[in-house]
Amino acid sequence: MKTTHEVTNQVPDLVDTNLFETDAALRDAVRFNAPELDVQALRELGAEAGSAEMQTHARLANLHSPRLHTHDRTGHRIDEVEFHPSYHALLGAALRHRLHGAPWAPGGPSHVERAAGFLMFTELEPSVLCPVSMTYAVTPALRANPALQAAFGGLLASPAYDGRFRPASAKTAVTMGMGMTEKQGGSDVRANTTQAVRDGEDAWGERYRLVGHKWFMSAPMSDAFLVVAQTPAGPTCFFLPRWLPDGTLNAVRIQRLKDKLGNKANASSEVEFVEAMAWRVGDEGRGLPQILAMGALTRLDCALGTAGLMRGALALAMHHARHRSAFGRRLVEHALMRNVLADLALESEAATALAIRVARAVDRSESDAAPAAEREHEALMRRLLTPAAKYWVCKRGSHFAQEAMECLGGNGYVEAEGEGVMARIYREMPLNSIWEGAGNIMALDLLRALRAGAVSEALECELAPAKGAHPALDRAVARLVSKAGDGVEEAESRRFARDLALATQGALLAQTAPPAVFAAFCESRLDGAPDAFGELPAATDFDAILARAGAE
Ligand SMILES: Cc1cc2nc3c(=O)[nH]c(=O)nc-3n(C[C@H](O)[C@H](O)[C@H](O)COP(=O)(O)OP(=O)(O)OC[C@H]3O[C@@H](n4cnc5c(N)ncnc54)[C@H](O)[C@@H]3O)c2cc1C
């Protein structure tokens, strides 16, 4: 066969990179927030998550979406979801690296270590992290039912993934999901209509029968779920297993799987409960505060996940710009492309710095070893920075993905049978902003947090180490502290969330990033809202920023 042309100037795949070794921003964020940590496990995770073999699993798990089987061949209900083997390989790796309930178990990783691992794993594949994140969040919630905690706490922290659909008592590890959202409203959990009727008491505590539905319930093959249902005292949390203690299936009917924009490897379902058995976790009527506590942990994961997706998109954009030429030079040598990449690198590093800082707040606010004053400060920071980070980092995510995609030109928009990783990242990005509380809900949550203590003083203390480092940061901190003291109106709470995130990012970069990164961040983002990417002033030290990100 005659050839019509030679294929040139196309970019090779970005494979076999160590996601930890190549990410200086992440390494410095980890060092700053956990100076004593031995990072060997993160190095190993970085190598595995950047390997060609795992990338193939990520492609296949997304290409071959999960399938629901409501009945078996002979008409019995089975309500099983079938996944491609690559999904199990990925989920197995995530558990092996202890990204689920492990930080809550004795001898488990710190929250900072787990956060860094979660961020890197997201670069590989975010969908399978949905059940991983939910397991992380529900594990401490089970403390409200000591019998369930004793029965499942160890299994929720076990690194030995067991993908078989069978009772938890016969498995080496379990995962859990969460079911709050119903058709009539997700943000307003009080509007839930699913009813719980008391049915007796047994070894797992107070048993109820649940009748109702959930409009979104992801990872329906999880071994159990924490769900909210109404009791006479109001919304209440329940532990709802897929299998009952007698070895029969619980009455959880999966109606259908959601046909989603992205997040293709993960199954998200609509379910009905037909007198399904569930055990109470916490007091009747106390469901909302419990949900909020869990939500704070999954919201941290939304910020971490978005920081990971940003870093993944940036790495692809830099790789492309290094290998692709236009108008006689490699893209990375063009002044405007250097500006775009440098600006993306600033955003990526700032997102990483903020998300890992929130993970430290979880560590230190939970630590018995921390002095009481530090614990109190960290608890307040955790309360304030979680909604601010989820709001701002996730809001920037889609915008970021669009710009990173554009760096690849037309190839960025092409799926190519799952080989187009940038397209996958782009489709995934909006999700972290929507689930676990959309943007407005984050801003409203931050408003509530502002009433939680001496916020102005705590912010001054948090941001003090960067005082005098840059005039724009000093101005931003002064505005923020004064606004926190004066009071924030509901209508301006998004703006306050943004300003809190930006000032904290600036203060963190002052302590962890090279001077060029810190200066460019302050100059481009703190005196007015950031605009389109690639509008950094011409005098910016692009060389230093790009070297830091690994573009050269
Ligand atoms: C792929 C996917 C998987 C999911 N998996 C799960 C799961 O496993 N378990 C689960 O429980 N849920 C899950 N969800 C549901 C998700 O958490 C909700 O969709 C989300 O919380 C928003 O709720 P809603 O869709 O009912 O929208 P609504 O609550 O109707 O909100 C719509 C819009 O109104 C805004 N809004 C709401 N109240 C206010 C207010 N007071 N002031 C101003 N604005 C307001 C919101 O910010 C949002 O922008 C999933 C969603 C998706 C997309």
Average pLDDT per 10 consecutive residues for the chain, totaling 552 residues: 93 96 98 98 98 98 98 97 98 98 97 98 98 97 96 97 96 98 94 97 98 98 98 98 97 98 98 98 95 93 98 98 98 98 98 98 95 96 98 98 98 95 98 97 97 92 98 98 96 98 98 98 89 95 98 83
* The Cα angle at residue 297 between residues 426 and 225, in degrees rounded to 5: 90
Question: What residue type is assigned to position 523 of the chain?
Answer: E
What residue's CA is closest to ligand 1, atom 17?
A: 435
pLDDT at position 491 is 98
What residue's CA is closest to ligand 1, atom 52?
A: 435
The CA-atom distances, in angstroms, between 477 and each of 350, 386, 467, 506, 541 are 16, 18, 9, 9, 24
> Which atom of ligand 1 has the smallest separation from the CA of 187?
29
Distance 390 CA to ligand 1 centre (A): 14
**Residues near 129 by beta carbon (within 8 Å), at least 6 away in sequence:** 94, 99, 118, 121, 122, 301, 305
> Which atom of ligand 1 has the smallest separation from the CA of 434?
20
122: nearest Cα among 415, 424, 413: 424
pLDDT at position 335 is 98
Question: What residue type is assigned to position 50 of the chain?
Answer: G
What residue's CA is closest to ligand 1, atom 42?
A: 440
Q: Which two tokens stand for residue 445?
A: 């949550």
Please choose from 240, 297, 434, 442 the residue to mutate so as to test ligand 1's pocket, defined by most ligand atoms within 8 A of CB. 434
Task: Give the containing element (helix H, strand E) for 506.
Answer: helix 493-512
What residue's CA is closest to ligand 1, atom 49?
A: 438
Q: Determine the Cα–Cα distance for residues 385 and 393; give it in Å rounded to an integer.
A: 11
Q: Determine the Cα–Cα distance for residues 298 and 305; give it in Å rounded to an integer.
A: 10
Distance 472 CA to ligand 1 centre (A): 36
Distance 383 CA to ligand 1 centre (A): 20
Distance 267 CA to ligand 1 centre (A): 17
Distance 268 CA to ligand 1 centre (A): 14
Neighbouring CB atoms inside 10 A of 85's CB total 12
271: nearest Cα among 438, 80, 131, 436: 80
**DSSP conformation class of 191:** G
Please choose from 133, 257, 441 the residue to mutate so as to test ligand 1's pocket, defined by most ligand atoms within 8 A of CB. 441
Query: Do 511 and 519 touch, CB atoms closer than 8 A?
Result: no
> Which atom of ligand 1 has the smallest separation from the CA of 431?
53
Distance 187 CA to ligand 1 centre (A): 5
Distance 188 CA to ligand 1 centre (A): 9
Residues paired with residue 299 on neighbouring β-strands, in sequence order = none
Distance 96 CA to ligand 1 centre (A): 31
Distance 487 CA to ligand 1 centre (A): 27
Neighbouring CB atoms inside 10 A of 334's CB total 16
What residue's CA is closest to ligand 1, atom 24?
A: 186
What residue's CA is closest to ligand 1, atom 43?
A: 440
Please choose from 216, 258, 436 the residue to mutate so as to test ligand 1's pocket, defined by most ligand atoms within 8 A of CB. 216
Question: What residue type is assigned to position 56 of the chain?
Answer: T
**DSSP conformation class of 145:** S
Residues with CB under 6 Å of ligand 1 are: 177-181, 185-187, 216-218, 260, 263, 268, 431, 434-441
Provide the strand spans (E) within 249-351.
Answer: 252-257, 268-280, 325-326, 329-330
> Which atom of ligand 1 has the smallest separation from the CA of 218?
8
